[in-house]
Every structure is written in structure tokens, then in C-alpha cells.
Structure 1
Amino acid sequence: MIKVKVRLRPIVSKLNMPTVLKTAYLPGDSIESLFISTQVGEIFYIRNGEIRTFLDIRPRILQLGVSSGGYDERGLIGLAFHPGFYYNGLFYLYYSIAGAQGPGAIPNASSEPFKPNPCDPGTLNRKWINRDKEYDHIDTLEEWILQPNGQPQKRRTLLQIRRPFLNHNGVNSLNFSPETGKLVLTTGDGGSGYDPFNLSQDDMEIAGKIIEIDVTKNTFIDQPPVVTRFDELPVPIQETLTVIAKGVRNISGISFQRFYHRYIKYVGIVGQDLVESIFSFIHYRPIPVTQLIQASLKKSELDQEGFVNFGWRGWEGDFPTSFITSCSANPALDQKTIAYYDDAVKTSARRLPPLISYFHEEPRTDKFRATALTGVQPYMGNEIPGLTGNVVFTDLAVRAKDSQLPVRGALAYTRPRMDCKLNDFSVMDVDYPFGSQSAYYVSLGANMNQTKLYLGVYGSMKVADYHEGSVFEIVP
């Protein structure tokens, strides 16, 4: 793969954490506007070089960073425009509701993160009980409309989901499928670490799934109940939902690349301790939620041929999920132990292998040590010839051993493969003078025809460190 060099062209700075970057045509407009949503609840758009406020829902958003030292994965994490937005003004938001803070699903646990212990079966078979009281927060999916007077207004609530922990809620969680015209919701496994309740493989759990929602169907339910499972939803809502995939850990959304009359789907999944992974698939067989529920009631095995399973929690990318036992005498001898052997066996045949995995510990000098995958986008433009037709991804922060240099994220790319077999990737050279400022690459976006790429950068990992965000266009 050739070495691609790019520059970052500044678009806007002094933002709060930019979580979603995408373009749309405003009703009556003749040019695309770049929309930027921030984690704290602001949505801006840029038109003719001028930044304007589209919507500000900060009072609706859970207060972020208070209980977590400034770091947070909740907030406004999804924005999608209806394919007919230019005509109907409909758009969709996914965010964490103000006032919905709970004690967590393991409220009496110590401050140490959860880790399975093969010698203690209790850690391998935990159950999430007392869900109405022991949870972290509630996320909501809402439909809004841009009124003729230019003011956005909420129309209805589609889902309200109770989440067990503050992390792994996904980001860039809403996108419309160009294949089906349906709204796609991507949900993480609920958080903590190692998916302690195995929600991602449970067909009844909303956590850890990719879900299609038929927004053309009116359920006539304006305020749906707060749920964690599909079978807790009213039947009219169940009938609007199909499940594309399960086995998700934490996810940076889904993107689509046109391939003749079909689309390649790309999914970036954040790893636990070993790897970050990008998955791709063309063919899939979604399963209606009503069928999943019927199979569960009958305790029957549902035919899941063609149903996408990313393998978590049994698999982390292309590896059985492991935890690392440190060797204090010699860190080079740290031992990796399979965390969930039974889960790895059960999902081994059905799981989808990744297109690429890249590593937290990386011995190759032309690669980088991973932290967290934060975005995946196909590039179909011609301005950066070495990238045309390839898939671009970004990592939060390159980790260098014993380095005192400021933090930098990483941009890289890989070629699509129709056989979905494991592929290599190449790191881009990025020309921009960040100076002594940290630069975490927190989001990656594209315009509607994927000929332009946008990068969201933050000067801190903490959402409570305000106004440290910038958005750039990636240019030759």
C-alpha cells in the first residue's frame, strides 16, 4: 500500500467535544451544510464558512463528567437526517437524559473495573437484576422536525433504553441505511469491561446490537416505556424493529460504501485489551424482533444463518477474549489468559471475522500502538488519489512507550475486500502543527457522497474540559 500524505484544513475551533460530523441539505438550500454535534448537546452547522447554531439541547442532557473525573461516554452521541430531510425536515437524536442518573448495575462494587476470573464461576455468569433501580442512566431516541419557520421541534420518542454503566453507549449511533431507507441504531454492550452480563450475545437484550427501525410506521405511542430488553417493548414498537447484528462491544457507528447495486457495510468496534477491529459485510439477514421474541417464548433455536455476529464477548476481533495478568518482575512476560472459553467456543463458527485488527501492543515499526477506534468512513473522492475507494479510520491516541511528547491521534486506511478476509492497513502522514497541544482524534465524518472527510479533534480526553475541540477537513 502506498504512503498517503494529507493536511488538515481548519474549519472551526473552540468547540465542545465533537461527536458526530455529517452533511445535509437544509430545506430550500442548494449547497450541503456541515453539521457538528457536540457531546454536551449542541448542534452547529457551517454554511459558506459561517458557523450557526442549529439546535441546543444542553438542558436535556445528563450532566457529564461529574462522577467520572471529567471523562464520560454519555451525552448527545447520535444525529441522523431522514433521507427526505430536504422535503420533510425530519431528523433524529440519540442522547442521555438529564436527571436519569442511577447508582450503576453493580452499585456496591469497588472502584476496580470488572474482570472475569476463570477460577470463580460467579464472575462468568453474572446477572443484571433490579434493573429498574440498579442502572447508570437512560438513553433516548427521538424524532424531531425542522419547522417551516426554521425552528426544530421534537415530534415523538421512539425508544428509551436503560443502560447499566456509563460507558459503551456507542458514538455516531444513528445513520440511515441507503439500502433499506431505515434508521440504524448502533448500541454498545452497556459498559464496564468484559460485558459482565453477556448482554451482547443475548437475543432479547437491546445492548450490543445493530438495529434497524422503520420510522415510517407510526406506533401511536408518544412516550414508550423505559426498557432494557426487546420483549419489554409494546408490540407496535416491536413491529418496527429488526436486528442486523449482535456481539458488539463498543461501536463507532456504521458506514456504507456503494458496490455496484449493493453496499458494503463497515463497522468499527473498540477492543478490550488486545485489538481494535473493523468489520465489513455485504449480505446479511436481519431478524424481526417479533421473531426473536417468539423464539424466546417457545424456547426454540432460531435459524440465524446469515445473521451477523461480531463474536463479543467470546471474541475480541480475531482473538478469543483475554485478560492480561501482569508480571511485575518483567512486564515483557505479562500473561494473556482466555477470559470466556465457553463463550469463545459457542460463537467460533457463527462469528464474522474482522476485515482488519490493529494492536494495542504493536511490534511493527510502520504501524502504531492502538488506543481506541473512533471512526470508519469510505472515501470515494479523487482529490486524495491514494485514498480513492479505500476505507479510512482513526484512532483516539497513538501510544508510545515512555514518550513525553504531546498526545496525537492517528489516521490510517485499508482496502475493501469482497471476501471479508483479514487485511493490512497503512498509516497516513498528517501535516498539521498542533505544537505542544494534545490532539485526540475523537470523530471522523464524511459528506453525503463520501468525497470529503472531516476529523474531530479534542485537546483532552475529558468532556468536562470545555471548548478544546476543533474540526478539520482532511485534504491533499
Structure 2
Amino acid sequence: MPVALASPGDGTGRLFVADLPGTIRVIGADEPFLDITDRVVDLRSGYDERGLLGLAFHPQFAENGRFLVYYSAPLREGAPAGWDHTSRVLEFSVSTHGRADPDSERVILEIDQPQANHNGGSIVFGPDGYLYIPLGDGGGANDVGRGHPPGGNGQDITTLLGKILRIDIDDEKPYGIPEDNSFVGREGRDEIYAYGLRNPWRTAFDAGGEHRLFAADAGQYLWESVKIIVPGGNHGWNLREGNHAFDPENPYESPQDVPRTGRRGEPLVDAIIEYPNAGQPGGIGQVVIGGYVYRGSAIPGLVGRYVFGEWNRDGARGDGIIFAATPAEGPNEMWEFTEIGVAGSRTVGAYVLAFGEDADHELYVLTSKSRGPAGKTGRVHRIVPS
């Protein structure tokens, strides 16, 4: 079940794929690059949002051989009783044989998770050299319940859940804090880069333009959305679901009065893309899947457009959608998007799990015919002209 694809940018052209149960493989190689299945929490074969969820190569990987992974581990000792698991960010190094050295593990960060779902995990290095870590709100539903304070984790700046973190792994151990992080020197966790997120399932920096950070924020019952992450910005959850008002006590209806500010009076950041999900009439699908702004050369008509997806179209049993969104002309306008047809079959014919980008900025789609980490139906497809 492939959920992440990354290129080390070391001139080799290799593509590395992270598989949910706990292995990282190089496409074309026989042996796994890294196998941590014995460290990953026991997964449910039918469906599970836990597992090996992220892979990021250090910007100087060609020189230092360092890379990082994000995965779901069994609940650590000392974690709150009754919680589900602990998310871990680890650093590894490559051995002299060219494969990962499993004994080189260095723990960067551990985050206890109250529920099994909403884990984010698509770690990525930014153009500034810092590591960005997307985290969901802790799981469950509505951002309420065990492990969720009044008002929700997304809006609570004293917790790391429901945030995108930004840390320096080349500074102090286990990590340093960039001085320009938004909450340095004032109330709030210093690691926080942005907040108000439900489950940022797959995030990516634009390789061109202004190098903005795009995040697909999985919705609750009504709205899926994509957001351009603003440093220090409050992206709305659980005051909003997408750009619509949200009431955790009545999550099946969007209130008419849409909040414009957070609980501290700060402005809420609007999503750039929003669509109705299968929880309401006319819904397109079930979960938005984040992608990339296309900066390759194979398909000139896609350059500058955001290519993203939908896990499973409404009414289907394993048929995702690929979209291309065009930047809006005005600063406060929504991006328009259209479905990209698949040659031959016209549809994907499998669940869309993630997108990937190679060193030449060409894009890939990661799919599976299974809803969970079972079987061998996972595939990596390259997007090419029809």
C-alpha cells in the first residue's frame, strides 16, 4: 500500500516508495532499502490510517546519507492511559552498502495520539532547509472526545496536534527551533508553523513560483479542501470545515454564519479549493488527496497547475479521481479544477493514496485496489501525455 514517493536528488534518478506496513523500496531493486515493520504498530488489514506514513531525504543527502521517516509506533511508556499509539519521526543514515542502516536510528520527535486516525505524516524539507511535519487533530471525529480539549486540538496552540510543525534537525539535539517560527517568544508551542488543521493528508512545496506549501485537509462529513499554508496562520478547523462553518454538535449541517476569526481574534485563512464530499447530495468523493504543482516538462499544459486527487469517487468501490486546478486570477478567489481523464479506461480504477515527484518534477500517482494494508495491489503510475 504505497503512501509516499520521494527522490533523494542525488543524481541517481532513483525513486523511493514508502509502503504503509513499514518498508521503503527503491523502484527496480529487489531488496528493501529499509524495513521497520517490526517497529510499526499492528495494523488492521481492512483499513488503517496508521503505519509508515512519511519519507523525506535531507537536502544534503548525497553528502551525508541522512533521511527521515514518520511512522505509527505502539503507545510509548508514560503516554496517557487509553490512547492509541505514538507517532515517531526518526532519522536514519545509509550504510556503506547503499542501504539504510537500521541501527543508525535517531529519534527526532514523538507525539502521542489519542485515536488511530488523522495522523498526517507527509514530512518534507522546505526550501529553507527546515523539516515540516504535518499532524492531524488526534483523530476520532469533530475534534472532540478523549485527548481533545474544549475547542479542539486544531485551535489549541499549546498542543502539537492539528498543526504543521517546522523544526531544524541540523541544530541542537534532537532538534532546534527556527527563530522566526510564529510562536517563539509568546504563548504557543515554538514548533508550530501553522494550525487549525483536521488531517493534512499529503502536503508538498511548489518547486517553482513562490515555493508555497500546499496541504489537502481531509474533511469531516461535508467538505474537502486544499489550503496554501500561511506561516502562523489559523486554517480554521474545527471552527470551519473547508470554508464553511462547522458545529461539532451538529456536524451534518453547515451553519449559515461563517466565522472569520479564531478564538484569539486572529483571521482565519481560506482554502483555495473546496468540494462537497459523499456526505451530502452531489458529493464528489470521500477524501481529498494532496498533490503537487506541476513543474515538469512532459505535459506543458499542466505547468503551474496543482495536480491532486480524490481517494474514491462517490458511489464507487475503489475508483479515485485525478484533478488539475488552475490558479485563481484574484487573491481571494477559489481555484477552478477539472478531472483529468485516464487513457483507455477513462478512470483510475483504484483508490488514490498519494502523489509523488521525481528529480525532474514529473509526477506519479500511488494507488491500491485495497482499502487497507492487505494484498499486493499497490501501484506507482507516472503521469504522461495520453
Instruction: Give the equivalent residue in structure 2 for 1:65.
Output: 44
Instruction: Give the equivalent residue in structure 2 for 1:135.
Output: 83
- What letter corresponds to residue 36 of structure 1 in structure 2? V
How far 1:51 moved relative to its partner? 5.2
Change (3 A) 1:360 1:148: same
Instruction: Give the equivalent residue in structure 2 for 1:148.
Output: 96
Q: Secondary structure at the match of 1:245?
A: strand
Distance in 2 (alpha carbons) for counterparts of 1:167 and 1:432 = 35
CA contact (8 A) 1:412 1:428 kept: yes
Change (3 A) 1:158 1:323: closer
CA contact (8 A) 2:260 2:268 kept: no
Instruction: Give the equivalent residue in structure 1 for 2:241.
Output: 316
Instruction: Give the equivalent residue in structure 2 for 1:471.
Output: 380
Deviations 1:82-135 (A, max 9, x none): 0000110000011111x4389xxxxxxxxxxxxxxxxxxxxxxxxxxx962121
Instruction: Give the equivalent residue in structure 1 for 2:14.
Output: 33
Change (3 A) 1:466 1:258: closer
Instruction: Give the equivalent residue in structure 1 for 2:323.
Output: 412
Change (3 A) 1:25 1:203: same
Q: Secondary structure at the match of 2:211?
A: strand
Instruction: Give the equivalent residue in structure 2 for 1:96.
Output: 72
Q: Give ranges in structure 2 of 5+ residues lacking alignment.
A: 176-182
Is the counterpart of residue 458 in structure 1 residue 368 in structure 2? yes
Distance in 1 (alpha carbons) for counterparts of 2:265 and 2:227 = 16
Deviations 1:152-184 (A, max 9, x none): 22341011111000000014x210001x10011
Distance in 2 (alpha carbons) for counterparts of 1:19 and 1:339 = 36
Aligned residue among 18, 29, 49 for 2:2: 18
Q: Secondary structure at the match of 2:336?
A: coil
Higher helix share: 1
Higher relative contact order (CA 8 A, sep 6+): 1
- What letter corresponds to residue 382 of structure 2 in structure 1? E
Aligned residue among 171, 191, 216 for 1:242: 191
Is the counterpart of residue 160 in structure 1 residue 160 in structure 2? no
Is the counterpart of residue 397 in structure 1 residue 312 in structure 2? yes
Q: How does 1:215-364 map to 2 (within 5 A)?
A: 215-219=169-173, 242-260=191-209, 262-281=210-229, 284-285=230-231, 307-322=232-247, 336=253, 338=255, 346=263, 350-360=267-277
How far 1:433 moved relative to its partner? 4.2
Instruction: Give the equivalent residue in structure 2 for 1:201.
Output: 155
How far 1:423 moved relative to its partner? 2.0
How far 1:263 moved relative to its partner? 1.7
Deviations 1:228-251 (A, max 9, x none): xxx9xxxxxx99x53210001001
Seq. identity, %: 29
Q: Secondary structure at the match of 1:156?
A: strand
CA contact (8 A) 1:142 1:155 kept: yes
Root-mean-square deviation (CA, aligned residues, Å) is 3.1
Q: Give ranges in structure 1 of 5+ residues lacking alignment.
A: 1-16, 103-129, 222-230, 232-237, 286-306, 327-334
Equivalenced residue count is 364
How far 1:18 moved relative to its partner? 0.4
Aligned residue among 134, 137, 154 for 1:186: 134
- What letter corresponds to residue 164 of structure 2 in structure 1? I
Higher-Rg member (1/2): 1
Q: Secondary structure at the match of 1:20?
A: strand
Instruction: Give the equivalent residue in structure 1 for 2:55.
Output: 79
Instruction: Give the equivalent residue in structure 2 for 1:109.
Output: none
Instruction: Give the equivalent residue in structure 2 for 1:169.
Output: 119
Distance in 2 (alpha carbons) for counterparts of 1:386 and 1:191 = 38
